[in-house]
Amino acid sequence: MNSTLKLWTQLGLGTALAGGLLAACGGEAGGEGATGEAGEAATAAAAGEGEGGSGPGEGSTAAASGGEGEGGVATADAAKDPVAYGIALAVAEAHVVAARDAYAAGKKDAAGEMFAHPVSEVLLDMDPAFTTLGVKDMKPLFTAASDAALAGKPVAEVNKAYDAIIAALRGAAAKAPKSDASAAKVLAGVIADMIERASAMYRQLPKNDAYEPYLDGYGFSRVAMSAFAASGAGIKAENPALHASITEALALLAKAYPGAARPAKLPAEPGALSGASAKVMLASGS
């Protein structure tokens, strides 16, 4: 069982899934062994060190649940499980945040690819859930942003395309399936998954000098940070230990991913990130 699945079980599968966007580029599931395409290691977050899974690579959430997207998102459960739904949205958001910041850093091609990834890795598989929940198709927005980036359009134009995607994602989030879980618990599940995905991506960097894994992890870390900024007070009220462990993990991720451009020398110890992510997982079940 991968880490994400364990987390969902701890939080109460069927109540925890309200926050998810985590399915990223080929194996982005959150762990090191992803179920997705090579290079998409952020979604499967739990148990391993590969690009995509949470596990060693084969126990991604998607494989565990069935009907998941390439990034290890449990899309088959998304129409009824708020955490799975939230993770799917978070994975998509992580990609566009990374794309926007990469574009600002002059990485045009990488940005164009990042804007496009969620379409095949998450959104196509989310179509049934979106239809059930009454969410308008947003894939054209991602394609338009990708086209603008690849065409070298002005930063302001690319940012406008980014803003349109974020607005659509926020609209989709408002239609998340209902459950008995508190908003704080659902968001904690999503944040924990994002942290593990970012950690999993970082673990492969010492032996992989490609830009994409770093950029994937950067996006996951930034979405975890923004979600925690919005929900930290609620999480602290319900679970102080979890709040403390998330705070510690995010501080390490801020050091590991200082910006969208990959540093020449990795500034953090992968093992420290793994340990911090494990603490988050443990605290989330207490």
* DSSP characters over 247-275: HHHHHHHHHH--SSSPPSS--S-HHHHHH
What residue segments make up the domains of the chain, in order of their start? 1-286
The residue assigned the tokens 């198709």 is 137
Arithmetic mean of pLDDT, 89-114: 98
Percent of the chain's residues with pLDDT above 70: 74
**Residue pair 47/31 in contact by the 8 Å Cβ criterion:** yes
**Is 70 or 170 the better-scoring residue by pLDDT?**
170
| pLDDT category of residue 205 using cuts at 50, 70 and 90 | very high
**Is 60 or 111 the better-scoring residue by pLDDT?**
111
How much is the pLDDT for 216?
A: 96
How much is the pLDDT for 51?
A: 35
Arithmetic mean of pLDDT, 10-30: 36
Inform me whether the pLDDT recorded for 58 exceeds 70. no
DSSP per-residue string spanning 214-252: HHHHHHHHHHHHHHHHHHHHHHHHH-HHHHHHHHHHHHH
CA atoms within 13 Å, Cβ hemisphere of 257: 32
pTM value is 0.79
> CB 208: neighbour CB atoms within 10 A?
15
| pLDDT category of residue 71 using cuts at 50, 70 and 90 | low
Strands 27-29 and 40-47: parallel
Cα–Cα separations (whole angstroms), residue 157 to 52, 118, 144, 145: 31, 20, 11, 9
Q: How many helices (H) and strands (E) does the chain have?
A: 11, 3
- 185 membership: H or E segment, kind and range: helix 183-204
φ/ψ of 38, rounded to 5, equals -60, 130
Inform me whether the pLDDT recorded for 131 exceeds 50. yes
Inform me whether the pLDDT recorded for 42 exceeds 90. no
Burial (Cβ within 10 Å: 0-12, 13-18, ≥19) of residue 261: middle
| pLDDT category of residue 47 using cuts at 50, 70 and 90 | very low
How much is the pLDDT for 187?
A: 95
**Is 30 or 148 the better-scoring residue by pLDDT?**
148
Cα–Cα dist 27/217, whole Å: 11
| pLDDT category of residue 72 using cuts at 50, 70 and 90 | confident
